[in-house]
Amino acid sequence: MTAQLKISYLFTNKKEPGGTTSNKMISRILIILLIPISLFSQEIKVNDNYDFSKGFVVLRKGDTLFGSVKNIPPIESCNIVFFNNQENKVVEYTPKDVSAYTRGTIIYKAVDNYRFMQVISRGKINLYAYDFIGVQTNFYDKILEKVNNGPGAHFEETFKYFIEKKGFQLQSVDSANYKKFIEPYITDDFEVLAKFKDGIYTHYHSIENLINEYNKNFNFYNSYRYFHKDKTAANKQNYQFKSSIQIDTENEMYIYQLRNRDNEVVDQQSFKNKWEILLYEFKYTGSNKLELNNVYLKNIPQEIFTYKNLTYLNLSGTGIYALPSDISKLDELETLILSDNRIRVIPENIYKLQKLLFLNLNNNKIEKLPVGFWGLTSLQELHIAYNQLTEIPKEIGNLKELNTLEIFGNPIRTVHKEIRKLKKLKHSDIQWLRKLNKKSTKIVRKLKVKDIK
């Protein structure tokens, strides 16, 4: 039914087809409030220049055209692309004409002759999202459909994930079949599979993070890495090595080979985990900076505590449950990043890290900090947001070098006046804490700090 016909019912006593008298009154009120005056004389039209963004289209014959692109809703399951070239000429393309296109930073691929899908992740596994409605569905049209119980009446989720891998056909994925469906696709990545079985990435809406990590790992396992065994050597080429990895899916092992500059295998090892490979390579680098972030550990490997010259250690997103007391052996550390884990307890002897300047404990499960923690007197930045702390104790006054404190997202009720001793504190989000008691609120308001954001 056209917009003009719908409006005619506003000024008559006729009952709308398929509607009750109450529905009729609701329809009249909504349409009067939401439809612009221009609808009384003409139908809604989207301006030709509406929602164009810079991009390009790749034609199936091989040409690439640059200009401005927009996409509109699927018509009979076929999404159409408009391309505005340098002559300001608008051309319509379908998936039969175009293999891929970009609109802004978003990439779309023609998966067949009828559909474009947004590319979410590319690699050994391709993940797409298909929008059944499209970004250009007109707002007023949706309102009219809602009023008359039309196709858009329920505002259901209008996109679905599709997954593609060599040896598998393009398949749709939804919340009903996700857990059972996804496992066969990731059996050749033992780390991602372990995370999946351990309860990480098991929710349907985590599929993007899962596939992104899988593809990142695949690139890691299938690319050479070059490093020098002795950086002080006069002829560094004689000490240059490269590594390669083969995946033994039957035994769930990684076969690691180290080759010299003549491509000769000088060492071969079998590893069960990705972190073992990274630590094996680390000993060749001579570096004092170790990054294992987003590598699945659950527990910190004891080997890490043998690298006593470390000044930088990043273990964020590794799934660790505890920080062992052996961390005190790394007394040269200046930066320690432990965010996005499951840590509940900090060891009492952490105060032995007297050179520590930066500590990130964001997004863990810490309920209380030990007395020894406040012995980190060199600390300049402390990030401990989104934990379970209920108090900032008096001992915080010991951290006299602290200039940044991130603490939002904790159910803190009490802040002691000793926080005023932090004369170098310049940046904090402490003022955004919402569960403080009255006394603590007054203390915080007197702090002269800028928002950490």
Q: What is the pLDDT of residues 89-110, one digit of tens each?
A: 788 888 889 999 988 888 999 9
pLDDT in tens, 390-413: 999 999 999 999 999 999 999 999
Say if residue 214 is in the same domain as residue 241: no
> Among candidates 337, 330, 371, which has minimal Cα distance to 354?
330
> What phi and psi values does residue 212 have, to the nearest 5 degrees?
-60, -45
CA 353 to chain CA mean position, Å: 32
Cβ-Cβ contacts under 8 Å for 301 (sequence gap 6 or more) = 275, 276, 279
Whether 315 and 438 map to the same domain: the answer is yes
**Does the pLDDT value for residue 165 go beyond 50?**
yes
Question: How many CB atoms neighbour CB 159 within 10 A?
Answer: 14
SS3 431: helix
For residue 122, tell me if it sits in a domain.
yes
pLDDT in tens, 24-41: 555 554 444 444 433 333
- CB-based contact 336:357 (threshold 8 Å): no
Task: Note whether residue 253 is domain-resident.
Answer: yes
Residue 36 and residue 9 share a domain: yes
Domain interval for residue 135: 53-173
pLDDT tens sequence across 442-451:
999 999 999 8
Residue 46 is assigned to a structural domain of this protein: no
**Does residue 48 lie within any of the structural domains?**
no
Q: Which amino acid is at 281?
A: E
Is the pLDDT at 356 greater than 90, yes or no?
Answer: yes
On whether both 296 and 445 belong to a single domain, the answer is yes
Among the residue ranges 3-12, 218-227, 244-253, the one predicted with the least confidence is 3-12
DSSP 16: P
Domain-embedded: residue 280:
no
Residue 198 resides in a domain:
yes
Report the side by side order of strands in the sheet with 90-93. 90-93, 81-84, 64-71, 53-59, 98-103, 106-110, 116-121, 125-131, 159-165, 168-173
Establish if 179 belongs to a structural domain: no
Same domain, yes or no, for 297 and 420? yes
423 & 293 share domain: yes
Note the residue count of the chain: 453
Output 260 or 389, whichever has higher pLDDT.
Answer: 389
DSSP H or E stretch at residue 170: strand 168-173
Is the residue at 279 inside a domain?
Answer: no
Residue 354 and residue 254 share a domain? no
pLDDT confidence of 190, banded at 50, 70, 90?
confident
For residues 77 and 36, membership in a common domain is answered with no
Place of tokens 């000088």: 266
Whether residues 432 and 300 fall in one domain: yes
Cα Dmax for the chain: 96
Residues 246, 198, single domain; the answer is no
